[in-house]
């Protein structure tokens, strides 16, 4: 009996037994750190309402995940920080003037319907933050009100009544014109747009951090942005090819989408070839929607559509089993 | 035939929308106001009952090789009659449902019940089947309509109450427009199916307990 | 079922179908005969109402020999106070059918949208009986020559988030104005 007692204290589990310090939590923490520069940029360009909207969104996402787990009596995993990332990304793809109740409903949709009902993190088919944004187009006027940048135009924390609206560079480009803002402004983020998407520079800093920490590989973002660059260079809607290409690449949510959303582990392919095809697909769809679509911006819908193709893209570029006959491998 | 069982099947356990998943096109498209749901439900019930009766009456007369062609002809005839009558006497409903009334011809519920039930059963049983399945369809449609109209438009009874505007329950800036768009149709259908599954399971457990108590 | 392939059986199939289709056809003809006048009357009333909404005093006759360079004008009605044009510009989703009233001096009397499939909440505002819809349609009253939205350098304020619908309505009004100019 004495021996049996010790036996029960052993933890018996199946292999692998090797441990890695990388967990979902550390990855998500790195993503949050990488998003920080863009948030600071958002606060600088649009005022403290940007911070407030982001915090509300993050809090709502975490709360809804916790509440869902409570109600369904499921194991609660809010400490993996994935809900925080979803909340931050959702806020980043909304205009800074969005009312708080709207972003809370967006968080509800993103977390409960898109993520938890499909089985939680790892089982969702599409990116929750982008699906939340798509759902928020239920209020199209709210989602297409763009405040002018600058300290004096910053919307109030509680009231957005007397804001100065402006056209975004994307709206200009959608009409086939060069944006009124300079390319430099667009690169730095000194233009109208969603809360966290305007500054290509700050997003690229986050990209660099993620690459250094090896959280993501450059395959999807490079394939995505490269495709958009090539297509817009080949088919410019103006006289200056280079300027048009730069404006398209820096404008709208392309950087944010390509770096932080298209690379979502759950909703992107696992094979190298699959990832490249996925990135190219996102790029082609983005350009098609920007050129021919009804909306100004195509990034979110392009990524959502490609998310749905991931199950197919995962089949291409699979490594051949060692020692498998060629014919069988082809099958 | 057991009419009570037929009624139960039509309403819940073999509901054409939530269990058989028939006629999805019109279900998803028109469930945006109570008026639409009731109108479409009644139109389908009327057509389904008539076609079921006629097909059951002719079931020994129609050779099996040409049965589908014959059924479709009969169904299309009834649909066109209903379409013309609606256009002449309830133009508002005809306008609101648009192309979906003529499309009842290809609504799988009608052909499905013709092939699956009326061609093998008596006229009376088929008539009851048509009415029960029609009520089940109408019920599912009305539930979807109420949910989508409330969440997507903020009103109840659109096209019917309060001079067609419906009774406003949610102030007009809050409702989520996507709920009356296609995506809302799919979402609502999913939830309604889940709800009906839950209800069936719940009733099942209850019945078993009852039997066990005996 | 041995006789399935015989001529007699094939004839039976054909005859059965023939009987069913004939009966259905006769029944439909009957229903059509009852409902056709009623439907025609309803359609005429609807057109009448749409015209009266944009052309005070209604119309006396329909003009069939009009010159239309845009290809958007489908019907022209003439009345004592001017003309009503049924135009069908293409909107965001599909064609918009609208009625444009133009007075004898070539000024827009009013517009009304008969049918459309624009996005609800955005483009559909153009046809709505809300304050925003009335304000949008009201902008066209009194305009002459050609109209366009402010983004294109014109005077019409586009509906929020629905530039394409607004442009479509403008192109419809322009087609009507051009056609009115041709009528003299």
Selected residue of C161, C163, C164, C167 to mutate for chain A interface (largest A Cβ count, 10 A): C161
CB pair distance less than 8 Å for B187 and A105: no
pLDDT tens sequence across C61-95: 888 777 777 788 888 888 888 888 889 898 877 88
Is the previous residue joined to B29 through a cis bond, with omega within 30 degrees of 0? no
CB pair distance less than 8 Å for C24 and B74: yes
Q: Is the pLDDT confidence value at C1 over 60?
A: no
Comparison of pLDDT for A32 and C127, the residue scoring more: A32
Comparison of pLDDT for B106 and A4, the residue scoring more: B106
CA B192 – CA A115 distance, rounded (Å): 19
Selected residue of B150, B174, B181, B189 to mutate for chain A interface (largest A Cβ count, 10 A): B174
Tell me the pLDDT band of B75, cut-offs 50, 70 and 90: very high
Please check whether residue C121 touches B, CB under 8 A. yes
CB pair distance less than 8 Å for C27 and B61: no
Tell me the pLDDT band of A3, cut-offs 50, 70 and 90: low
Chain C residue nearest residue B92, CA to CA = C42
| Closest to A143 (Cα-Cα) out of B148, C119, C134 | C119
Give DSSP secondary structure letters for A226-259: HHHHHHHHHS-SSS-HHHHHHHHHHSTTHHHIII
Tell me the pLDDT band of A140, cut-offs 50, 70 and 90: confident
End-to-end CA, chain C: 76
Long-range contacts of A214-218 (CB under 8 A, 24+ apart): A215/A27, A215/A30, A215/A31, A215/A34, A216/A259, A216/A263, A217/A275
| Alpha-carbon gap: B178 to the closest alpha carbon of chain A (Å) | 5
| Alpha-carbon gap: C30 to the closest alpha carbon of chain B (Å) | 10
Domain ranges of chain B: 3-213
CB pair distance less than 8 Å for A140 and C92: no
Share of chain A above pLDDT 70, in %: 93
- Residue C92: list chain A partners with CB under 8 A: 294
pLDDT tens sequence across C116-171: 877 766 777 788 777 778 888 888 888 888 888 877 777 888 887 677 888 899 99
| Alpha-carbon gap: B177 to the closest alpha carbon of chain A (Å) | 4
| ipTM, two decimals | 0.84
| Alpha-carbon gap: B111 to the closest alpha carbon of chain A (Å) | 33
pLDDT tens sequence across A275-317: 999 999 999 999 999 988 777 788 999 999 999 999 999 988 8
Please check whether residue C32 touches B, CB under 8 A. yes
What pLDDT, on the 0 to 100 scale, is given for residue C44? 85
Residue B121: DSSP 8-state:
S
What pLDDT, on the 0 to 100 scale, is given for residue A296? 79
pLDDT tens sequence across B9-68: 888 888 899 998 988 888 888 888 888 899 899 999 999 999 999 999 999 888 888 899
What pLDDT, on the 0 to 100 scale, is given for residue A321? 80
The answer to whether the beta carbons of residues B193 and B182 sit under 8 Å apart is no
What pLDDT, on the 0 to 100 scale, is given for residue B159? 72
Q: Is the pLDDT confidence value at A244 over 80?
A: yes
Sign of CA dihedral A272, A93, A281, A174: negative
Please check whether residue A139 touches B, CB under 8 A. yes
- Residue B84: list chain C partners with CB under 8 A: 31-32, 35, 39
Averaged pLDDT, B75-98: 88
| Closest to B76 (Cα-Cα) out of C37, C12, C31 | C31
Of C122, C151, C164, nearest to A140 by CB-CB distance is C122
Comparison of pLDDT for B202 and A8, the residue scoring more: B202
Chain A residue nearest residue B176, CA to CA = A138
pLDDT tens sequence across B151-200: 988 888 877 777 667 788 888 788 888 888 888 999 999 999 999 999 99
pLDDT tens sequence across A85-107: 999 999 999 999 899 999 999 99
CA A295 – CA A288 distance, rounded (Å): 11
Chain B residue nearest residue C18, CA to CA = B70
C133 contacts: CB under 8 Å, gap ≥ 6: C125, C126, C127
What pLDDT, on the 0 to 100 scale, is given for residue C4? 57
CATH of A24-160+167-313, one of 1.10.3430, 1.10.10, 2.30.30, 1.20.1070: 1.10.3430
Please check whether residue A180 touches C, CB under 8 A. no
Averaged pLDDT, C27-48: 90
Domain ranges of chain A: 24-160+167-313
Q: Are strands C61-63 and B155-156 parallel, antiparallel or unpaired?
A: unpaired
Tell me the pLDDT band of A331, cut-offs 50, 70 and 90: very low
Q: Is the pLDDT confidence value at A65 over 60?
A: yes
- Residue C34: list chain B partners with CB under 8 A: 88
Please check whether residue C6 touches B, CB under 8 A. no
């Amino acid at each position: 009996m004495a021996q049996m007692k010790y036996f029960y204290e052993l933890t018996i589990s199946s292999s692998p037994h090797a441990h890695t310090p990388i967990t979902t939590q550390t990855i998500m923490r790195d993503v949050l750190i990488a998003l920080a520069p863009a948030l600071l940029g958002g606060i600088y360009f649009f005022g403290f309402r940007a911070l407030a909207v982001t915090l509300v969104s993050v809090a709502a996402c975490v709360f809804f995940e916790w509440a869902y787990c409570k109600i369904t009596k499921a194991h609660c995993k809010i400490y993996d920080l994935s809900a925080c990332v979803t909340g931050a990304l959702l806020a980043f793809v909304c205009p800074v003037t969005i009312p708080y109740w709207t972003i809370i409903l967006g968080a509800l949709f993103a977390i409960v319907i898109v993520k938890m009902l499909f089985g939680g993190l790892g089982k969702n088919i599409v990116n929750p933050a982008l699906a939340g944004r798509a759902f928020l187009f239920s209020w199209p006027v709210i989602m297409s009100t763009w405040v002018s940048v600058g300290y004096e135009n910053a919307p109030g924390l509680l009231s957005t009544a007397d804001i100065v609206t402006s056209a975004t560079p994307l709206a200009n480009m959608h009409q086939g014109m060069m944006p009124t803002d300079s390319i430099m402004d667009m690169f730095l983020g000194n233009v109208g747009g969603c809360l966290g998407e305007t500054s290509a520079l700050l997003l690229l800093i986050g990209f660099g951090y993620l690459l250094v920490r090896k959280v993501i590989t450059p395959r999807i973002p490079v394939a995505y942005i490269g495709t958009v660059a090539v297509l817009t260079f080949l088919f410019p809607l103006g006289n200056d090819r280079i300027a048009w290409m730069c404006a398209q690449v820096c404008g709208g949510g392309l950087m944010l989408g390509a770096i932080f959303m298209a690379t979502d582990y759950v909703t992107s392919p696992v094979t190298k070839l699959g990832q490249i095809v996925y990135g190219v697909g996102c790029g082609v769809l983005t350009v098609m929607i920007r050129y021919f679509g009804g909306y100004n911006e195509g990034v979110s819908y392009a990524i959502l559509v490609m998310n749905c193709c991931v199950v197919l893209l995962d089949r291409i570029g699979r490594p051949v089993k060692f020692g498998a006959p060629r014919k069988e491998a082809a099958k | 035939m057991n009419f009570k069982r037929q009624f139960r099947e039509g309403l819940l356990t073999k509901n054409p929308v939530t269990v058989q998943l028939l006629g999805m096109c019109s279900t998803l498209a028109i469930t945006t106001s109570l008026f639409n749901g009731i109108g479409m439900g009644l139109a389908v019930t009327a057509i389904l009952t008539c076609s079921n009766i006629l097909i059951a009456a002719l079931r020994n007369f129609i050779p099996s090789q040409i049965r589908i062609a014959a059924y479709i002809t009969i169904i299309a005839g009834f649909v066109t009659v209903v379409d013309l009558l609606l256009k002449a006497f309830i133009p508002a409903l005809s306008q609101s449902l648009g192309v979906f009334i003529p499309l009842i011809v290809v609504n799988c519920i009608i052909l499905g019940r013709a092939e699956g039930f009326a061609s093998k059963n008596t006229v009376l049983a088929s008539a009851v089947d048509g009415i029960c399945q029609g009520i089940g369809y109408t019920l599912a449609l009305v539930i979807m309509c109420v949910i989508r109209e409330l969440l997507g438009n903020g009103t109840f009874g659109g096209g019917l109450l309060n001079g067609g505007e419906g009774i406003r329950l949610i102030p007009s800036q809050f409702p989520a427009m996507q709920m009356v768009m296609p995506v809302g149709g799919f979402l609502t259908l999913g939830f309604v199916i889940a709800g009906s599954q839950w209800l069936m399971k719940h009733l099942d457990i209850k019945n078993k307990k009852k039997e066990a108590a005996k | 079922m041995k006789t399935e392939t015989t001529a007699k059986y094939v004839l039976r199939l054909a005859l059965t179908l023939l009987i069913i289709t004939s009966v259905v056809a006769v029944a439909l003809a009957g229903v059509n005969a009852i409902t056709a006048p009623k439907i025609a009357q309803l359609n005429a009333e609807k057109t009448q109402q749409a015209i009266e909404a944009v052309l005070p005093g209604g119309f006396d006759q329909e003009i069939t020999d009009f010159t239309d360079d845009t290809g958007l004008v489908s019907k022209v009605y003439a009345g004592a106070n001017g003309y009503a044009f049924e135009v069908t510009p293409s909107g965001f989703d599909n064609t918009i059918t609208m009625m444009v009233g133009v007075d004898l001096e070539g000024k827009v009397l009013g517009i009304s949208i008969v049918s459309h499939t624009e996005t609800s909440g955005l483009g559909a505002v153009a046809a709505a009986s809300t304050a925003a819809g009335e304000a949008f349609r009201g902008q066209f009253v009194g305009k002459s020559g050609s109209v366009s939205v402010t983004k294109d350098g014109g005077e019409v304020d586009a509906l929020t988030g629905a530039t394409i619908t607004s442009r479509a309505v403008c192109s419809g009004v322009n087609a009507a104005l051009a056609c009115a100019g041709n009528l003299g």
